């Protein structure tokens, strides 16, 4: 049972400042970073903490994001608690090294402030970088607001460093919408936050000369397959640890987080599935629709994008009243259905309810997602439910200017 205590007074923090405070309180040994908009303030703040003597760890400014993650890998392999932050093109440059970190089972924490990938160049937030990292072998947690950017960063250290996990963890927040928006945050006191995170316990560190180890070994067809299978199992098995850590955090703070969040799903006829800061917009839209029209709308929000919670999504969508679901993807699909749509469809395929599932692409490059647009899309799902089939294109672009873009036409008639 976690120890109860009085929370600090409310602070007004944006998501970047919240994340940097969590890194400070975790007492990190090394932060290796190359700043990029809109995640720059996270490492900039941490650098100031280090320069002013608020932290004892090392802050290493490197020449690129590829070098930043390489530096993190070296420090973590040597037995240190390590973290950094990045966004968008920096994340893409870092991608090669992400696979190294997960394959070596190094519990690095990476705060990703989600931003669109070029071209054309754009500094606003969508989920292109989040989706780019989905097969890299990292645990991926998703924040909806500044409070969660703080809370989940602390939880990330506990999860990744757990001896039954030992995997790196990304903590995602939406660029500008969360990272630069000031909101009320209730932080933990420094000593309480560090007690929750705990002392770092090195495993197979290179500086333990009594037990020599090799990092970055080469394996061809003789052992590579088994190595990746074992890594995948560790990632899937981390679900239990994630639940345990989130439950302990709830006991400590009263703030509850789940791998899948749901809102008004008990009697929902239609549902919207989406990620990030848009979840709060969708909740308001669903509530207003119920009051204005009686349409019973529910919201499903995966907070843990990797390992993807297929079992929990299936439970949320396997409801007798649920007839239609729309999956909202904030990333350009690149000639396919949206990544979230694909994951949710796979989870729903084995349900008894088998609701109709459609896909909307929205919010690219930071395009606003309004309550009115959410209500329009939710209402459209009622037409699918009443007809018993998809009455529009299965994939559409929300709010795009010019000719209406629709793909993968499945309409009957």
> Please, which pLDDT band fits residue 412 given cuts at 50, 70 and 90?
low
Q: What is the pLDDT of residues 329-382, one digit of tens each?
A: 999 999 999 999 999 999 999 999 999 999 999 999 999 999 999 999 999 999
pLDDT at 11 over 80: yes
- Give the pLDDT of residue 192: 97
pLDDT at 2 over 90: no
- Common-topology check for domains 11-199+206-211+218-253 and 260-409: yes
- Give the pLDDT of residue 156: 98
- Give the pLDDT of residue 9: 87
> Please, which pLDDT band fits residue 408 given cuts at 50, 70 and 90?
confident
Question: What percent of the chain shows pLDDT beyond 90?
Answer: 92
pLDDT at 8 over 90: no
- What predicted TM-score, i.e. pTM, was given to this entire model? 0.96
pLDDT at 410 over 80: no
Find the helix or strand (DSSP H, E) in which 174 lies: strand 169-174
pLDDT at 45 over 70: yes
Question: What percent of the chain shows pLDDT beyond 70?
Answer: 96
- Kindly tell me the burial class for residue 287, based on how many C-beta atoms sit within 10 Å of its own C-beta (0-12, 13-18, 19 or more): middle
- Cis status, amide bond into 207, omega within 30 of 0: no
**Token output for 207:** 């500086």
Strand order in the sheet with 356-361: 260-263, 297-302, 270-273, 324-329, 356-361, 393-397, 406-409
Q: What is the pLDDT of residues 125-166, one digit of tens each?
A: 999 999 999 999 999 999 999 999 999 999 999 999 999 999
pLDDT at 49 over 70: yes
DSSP string, 363-406: -GGG----HHHHHHHHHHHHHHHHHTS--SEEEEETT-SSSPPE
pLDDT at 237 over 90: yes
Q: What is the pLDDT of residues 171-226, one digit of tens each?
A: 999 999 999 999 999 999 999 999 999 999 999 999 999 999 988 889 999 999 99
> Which CATH architecture describes the domain 11-199+206-211+218-253?
3-Layer(aba) Sandwich (3.40)
Judge contact between 85 and 39, C-beta under 8 A. Answer: yes
Arithmetic mean of pLDDT, 65-85: 98
Dist CA 68 CA 101 (whole Å): 12
> Please, which pLDDT band fits residue 411 given cuts at 50, 70 and 90?
low
Task: Please report, for the chain, the start and end positions of each structural domain, with discontinuous segments joined by +.
Answer: 11-199+206-211+218-253, 260-409
- Give the pLDDT of residue 402: 83
Please tell me the class of the 260-409 domain. Answer: alpha beta
**Token output for 41:** 């303030």
Dist CA 324 CA 271 (whole Å): 7
Candidates 323, 279, 321; CA nearest to 299 is: 279
pLDDT at 413 over 70: no
pLDDT at 1 over 60: no
């Amino acid at each position: 049972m976690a120890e109860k205590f009085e929370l600090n007074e409310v602070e007004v923090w944006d998501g970047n400042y919240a994340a940097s405070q969590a890194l400070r309180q975790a007492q990190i040994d090394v932060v290796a970073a190359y700043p990029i908009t809109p995640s720059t303030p996270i490492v900039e703040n941490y650098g100031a903490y280090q320069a002013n003597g608020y932290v004892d760890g090392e802050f290493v400014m490197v020449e690129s994001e590829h070098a930043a993650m390489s530096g993190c890998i070296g420090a973590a392999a040597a037995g240190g608690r390590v973290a950094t932050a990045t966004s968008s093109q920096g994340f893409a440059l870092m991608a090669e090294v992400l696979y190294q970190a997960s394959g070596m089972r190094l519990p690095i924490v990476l705060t990703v402030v989600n931003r669109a990938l070029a071209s054309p160049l754009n500094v606003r937030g969508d989920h292109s970088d989040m989706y780019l990292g989905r097969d890299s072998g990292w645990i991926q947690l998703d924040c909806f607001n500044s409070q969660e950017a703080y809370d989940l960063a602390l939880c990330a250290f506990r999860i990744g460093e757990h001896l039954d996990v030992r995997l790196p963890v990304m903590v995602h927040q939406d660029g500008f919408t969360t990272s630069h928006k000031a909101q009320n945050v209730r932080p933990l006191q420094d000593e309480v936050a560090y007690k929750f995170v705990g002392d770092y316990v090195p495993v197979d560190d290179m500086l333990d000369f009594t037990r020599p180890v090799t990092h970055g070994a080469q394996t061809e067809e003789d052992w590579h397959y088994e190595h990746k299978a074992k890594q995948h199992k560790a990632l899937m098995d981390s679900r239990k640890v994630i639940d345990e850590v989130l439950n302990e955090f709830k006991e400590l703070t009263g703030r509850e987080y789940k791998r899948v969040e749901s809102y008004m799903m008990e009697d929902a006829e239609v549902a919207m599935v989406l990620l990030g800061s848009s979840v709060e917009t969708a909740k308001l839209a669903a509530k207003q629709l119920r009051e204005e029209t009686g349409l019973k709308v529910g919201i499903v929000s995966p907070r843990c994008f990797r390992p993807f919670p297929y079992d929990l999504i299936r439970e949320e969508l396997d409801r007798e009243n649920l007839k239609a679901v729309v999956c909202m993807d904030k990333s350009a699909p690149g000639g396919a259905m949206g990544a979230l749509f694909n994951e949710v469809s796979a989870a729903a395929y084995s349900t008894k309810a088998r609701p109709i599932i459609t896909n909307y692409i929205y919010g690219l490059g930071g395009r606003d997602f309004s309550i009115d647009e959410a209500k329009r899309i939710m209402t459209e799902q009622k037409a699918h439910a009443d007809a018993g089939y998809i009455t529009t294109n299965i994939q559409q672009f929300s709010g795009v200017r010019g000719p209406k873009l629709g793909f993968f036409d499945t309409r009957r008639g």
